[in-house]
Each structure stands twice: as structure tokens, then as C-alpha cells.
Amino acid sequence: MNGRRRVVIASNRVPPPPAEGAPWPAGGLVSALLPPLAAVGGLWFGWSGQAGDPDTPPQRTVTPGIDYVTIDLPEQEIADFYEGFCNRTLWPHLHGLAEQATALHREYSTYRTANRRFALALVPLLAADDLIWVHDYQLIPLGQELQRLGWRGPLGYFHHVPVPPREHWEAIPNHEALATAFTAYELVGTQTPRDRDQLRTLLPAGHGEHISAHPVGIDPQRFRQFAASHGADPLAREGDDRQILFGVDRLDYTKGIRQRLEAFERLLLRDARWRHEARFVQWAAPSRGNVPEYQAERAAVIEVAERINARFGEPHPVELDLTSHPPDEVAAGLEAADICVVTSLADGMNLVAKEFAAVHSAEHPGVLVLSDTCGAASQLTGALPVRATDVGSIEEALERALRMPWDERARRAAVLRTTVDLTTAGRWFQEFVLELERRRPGGAPTVFRW
């Protein structure tokens, strides 16, 4: 080992290698991991996003920074593991939204089987001195499966999503097995100290010291470059100088998209001034479209937006765009917005909030409205806080944001920007990996070349 271990990332979702020009996968995991992994180099392993014959060898694309290796999953496993256990059972319960959890797809065994498949495909790619870092709830048992297959090297896990209260945790089928699966890791990272403390109460006794809080960040410099490279303002409409409230999310019921639109509707009803002085642009990228709860959410969001536009007529107050936008366009949109509205009902971190902070400053201020149920709220103290389940509190914050004087906007924007500049994805990555190394008996620290 020449002073530096290779970092092997395993996550269910892997971005397409840059040359492929495939659509960009929405979600915080990829945007947090990609810049630091590209900087230090390493292997990124996971699902191709495609159905296919499981016996086909993994697809490998070597780029100057990252070696991407992906496997296809059998169609039935996509339904049972990814859409079923992960996204109809684990996802809603981990977000404390039991009402979205279906009675179907409760089989923990399908989850284990898929994780075993990932482990079997990953093991032949490994070198003895690699460091493995597993990401997110789809792959919690991967560490256990790798150890069963003989892996003895460094093994860490990062939990991108919230850790729920006990009553939600206990609603997860086989939650005891899930808790045991966490204990394979020498280090488990959570987004916030609150999540760390909560997870400590849920795992078997003695495992608490393996859990530590490492809030995920973005690469603010890179994101600012995206905004600069885009050129045109994607939110501009000729002759329209209304203030722009902007939301950009995956289309997911955890994001509180309906709630924020309803809050805007209430504001327009209460004070007619805003019908001429504000508009709401909401981009919601398609996500998990085969899952019925996501289809229902899509229909509900469309219904609210259409209702508002029908109620107030021209110029329409809401512009709803249900397509994916590449990162440079998202960056340019966030930069052009006056107010960014993030109202997740539960969210591990929420990197859109950090991206908005990165492209605003005291000279070009924007106001961030942020629900207190996002991990980011504990760091982004320059934001206007709201309770996502309380539409009235969102309505008040939207009005306060719209009325906010320039000097307060500038002060808050400067605080937000400093925070994201100090807590970057690079720092998050490095701190986690170094802590994992330090925890190994006699483990030599990884030397990063930044």
C-alpha cells in the first residue's frame, strides 16, 4: 500500500459515467459523493438502474478519477427489493411517515438476498488494502454479507436519511435483524447529532461508540461554476418581474411540495398584492415512478398547482415542471431565485438548501425558507425556519421572505454561504474516512491527495 488505501464506495444508485450523457440521477447521495470521490479517486459500485440477467458480468467504466462498476438486477428483485422493501417499507418508516408504508413488500428476506447479490459481485473487485464505504438504507446488510464472504478490511456505512423515533423503527419488519446488520460496521455515520443519539438507542448495546455524526456537505465552488457555466437564466419570463419562490426536489411525498404550494395559495388569498408580485416555480424530478405512493403524490401535486392557477388565472401564480434538470440548470435556477422553499416533512440533510446558499451572497442575496425537520436546519441558521406540517407557518415565512429588506437578506445570505463553504463534501468525505482508519487497530491513516 503506497501510503493510501483505495476507497471503494458502494451505493444502490451510481451516477452514469460522465461520457455516457445519461440523465442525471436526482438526489443528495450522488451530488455529495461525486466531487470528493473524483478528487481522491476510487471505485464506485452499485446498481446500474437497469433490469437484466444477474449472471451477466458487471459493467465497468474506467475514467481518470473513478472506476464505475454496476450490476443489473432481475426484474422481480427490482420490484421486491428496490421498489418494495426499500421504497415502500424502509423509506416511509425511516421518515416517520407510516401512513405511506404499504402492507405489501414487507419481506426482509428479499432485502437480504439483494444485498448478498451486491456482496457477491463486489468481492472479486476488491484488493486486500481497500477501504469500503457503504451508503444508505438500501444496503445496510451489505457489510454483514461482505464479512460472511471473508472481508476483514475497513468497513464503514453512512446513513443519508433520518433515524426515526422508536415507534416508527419498530414498525419495520425484522427491525431486530436490521439493527444487527449495522453492527458489522466499524463506523456508522449519521447526518446529525440527533440522528446519532437516536440510532444509539436502537442498536444492540455496546455498538453506540461506533456511531458518529458527520453532516454531509456539497462542493460549493463546483456548484458556483455550474451556475456560471449555464449562461441563460432558466427562470426568466419576458416582461415578468414578480419575485420568484423556487422549489427543486425529487418528486417525493417526504418533500412537502403540496404543503408549500398550499401555503402559497393561502398567502395569495389573504393578500392580493402577491398575485402580482410573486410567482412560485416548482421543479420536481421524476422519482421511483413505479411506486404507487409516488404516482399518487405526483397526481396530488399536479392537482394543487392546477387548482391554484385556475383560481387566480393569468398571470399564473404557479409554474410546475415535472422533468429532470441537469445540475448546471439547477444551479442557474437556484441562483436566479429570490427565495428557495424547502419544506421536507423529514429529510436526512437536504442538499438543495446548501446549493441555494452556495450561489447567493451578501451582494446577491436570496432568502432560504427551511423546515426544521431537515438535517440542514441544524447547520443553516441563516434560514427562515418553518414547521413543514403546519401550512400556516410556511405561509408566514413566505410572506416574511417576500417582504424581507435587502440588508437582512444580505446578512442572512452571508451567514448561509459561510456555513456551506466551511462544511464541504470534501471535508465530510475526508473526516469520515480518517475516522474509520483511526478506529482500526494499528490502521495507518489514509493519506489524501487533495
Binding positions for ligand F6P, rule: CB under 6 A: 12-13, 25, 27-29, 136, 160-161, 287-288
Rounded to the nearest whole angstrom, what is the least distance from the CB of residue 13 to ligand F6P in the complex? 3
Nearer to ligand F6P (CB atom), residue 13 or residue 230: 13
What value does the CA radius of gyration of the chain take, rounded to a whole number of Å?
Answer: 22
Q: How many helices (H) and strands (E) does the chain have?
A: 17, 14
Q: Kindly report the CA angle at 175 between 174 and 178, in degrees rounded to 5?
A: 95
Of residues 130, 195, 338, 347, which has the active-site annotation? 347
Catalytic residue among 160, 168, 214, 325: 160
Min dist. Cβ of residue 48 to ligand F6P (A): 12
Nearer to ligand F6P (CB atom), residue 287 or residue 419: 287
Establish whether 55 is a catalytic residue: no
> Least distance (Å) from ligand F6P to the CB of residue 397?
24
Interstrand relation of 131-135 and 66-73 (parallel, antiparallel or unpaired): unpaired
User: At its nearest, how many Å lie between ligand F6P and the CB of residue 379?
Assistant: 17
Q: How far apart are CA 108 and CA 144, in angstroms?
A: 14
Say whether the peptide bond before residue 315 is cis (omega within 30 degrees of 0).
yes
Q: b/e map of 51-77 (b: 16 or more CB within 10 Å)?
A: eeeeeeeeeeeeeeebbbbbbbbbeeb
Q: Are 184 and 156 in contact (CB under 8 A)?
A: no
Can you state the angle between helices 351-358 and 327-336, rounded to 10 degrees? 60
Nearer to ligand F6P, 251 or 320 (CB): 251
To ligand F6P, the closest distance from the beta carbon of 28 in angstroms equals 4
Q: CB nearest ligand F6P: which residue? A: 27
160 is catalytic: yes
Question: Which residue, chain included where needed, has cell 450490476?
Answer: 71
Residue 374 CB, shortest distance to ligand F6P, in Å, is 12
Q: How far apart are CA 392 and CA 73, in angstroms?
A: 44
Which one, 91 or 356, has the nearer CB to ligand F6P? 91
- d(CA 167, CA 194) in angstroms, rounded, equals 16
Which C-beta is closer to ligand F6P: that of 104 or that of 447? 104
Are 393 and 387 within 8 A, CB to CB?
A: yes
Q: Which residue has the cell 419570463?
A: 237
Contacting residues for 341 by C-beta, under 8 A, at least 6 apart: 245, 246, 247, 260, 280, 369, 394, 398
Q: In this complex, which beta carbon is closest to ligand F6P, that of residue 25 or of residue 315? A: 25
Could you list the active site residues? Answer: 160, 347
